[in-house]
Amino acid sequence: MNRIKLSARFLAVLFVTAVIGEVVIENATCTVTPLGSGDDTPQIKKAFQQCSSDSRIVFQEGTYNIRQVMEFTNLKNVSIDIYGKWVWSADNLQYWISNTLPVTYAGLHTAWKLGGTDIALRGHGKALFDGNGQTWIDENRSGSNRQGRPINLTIWRAKNVFVDGITWRQSQFWHTFVAYSSNVTMTNLDMRTRSNSQWSAVNTDGIDTWNSQDIKLRNWTVECYDDCISIKANSKNIDVRNVTCYESGCAVIGSLGNGNGQDTVENVLFEDFKCNHSSNAAWIKTYSGQGYVRNVTFRNFEFSDVDQPIYVTPCIYSSSGCDSSRLPIEDITWTNIRGTSRYNVAAGMHCSSAAPCKNFKFENIDIKPKAGGTAKVLCSNIQNQASMGLTCTGTCPANWPQQLKGNR
Per-residue pLDDT of 341-351, as tens digits, reads 999 999 999 99
Kindly state whether residue 95 falls inside one of the protein's structural domains.
yes
Pairing status of strand 23-26 against strand 3-5: antiparallel
Using a cut of 0.85, tell me whether the model's pTM lies above it.
Answer: yes
Beta-carbon count within 10 A of 203 CB: 19
Kindly state whether residue 37 falls inside one of the protein's structural domains.
no
Kindly state whether residue 185 falls inside one of the protein's structural domains.
yes
Enumerate the H helices of 177-272 as residue ranges.
none
pLDDT at 227: 96
pLDDT at 146: 84
Kindly state whether residue 3 falls inside one of the protein's structural domains.
no
Kindly state whether residue 380 falls inside one of the protein's structural domains.
yes
pLDDT at 366: 98
pLDDT at 15: 28
Q: Which residues of the chain have pLDDT under 70?
A: 1-20
CATH code at 314? 2.160.20.10
Q: At 199, which amino acid appears?
A: W
pLDDT at 20: 62
Of the chain, the end-to-end C-alpha distance in Å amounts to: 73
Q: Report the distance separating Cα 104 and Cα 102, nearest Å.
A: 6
Give residue 329's domain range: 62-387
pLDDT at 335: 98
Kindly state whether residue 13 falls inside one of the protein's structural domains.
no
Kindly state whether residue 4 falls inside one of the protein's structural domains.
no
- Indicate the number of domains in the chain: 1
The residues, any chain, with a CB within 8 Å of residue 243's CB and separated by 6 or more, are 217, 219, 220, 221, 222, 228, 229, 251, 270, 272, 273, 274
Kindly state whether residue 23 falls inside one of the protein's structural domains.
no
Q: How far is CA 343 from CA 143, 217, 238, 276, 339, in A?
A: 26, 31, 31, 14, 12
The residues, any chain, with a CB within 8 Å of residue 325's CB and separated by 6 or more, are 257, 286, 287, 288, 289, 314, 315, 352, 354, 355
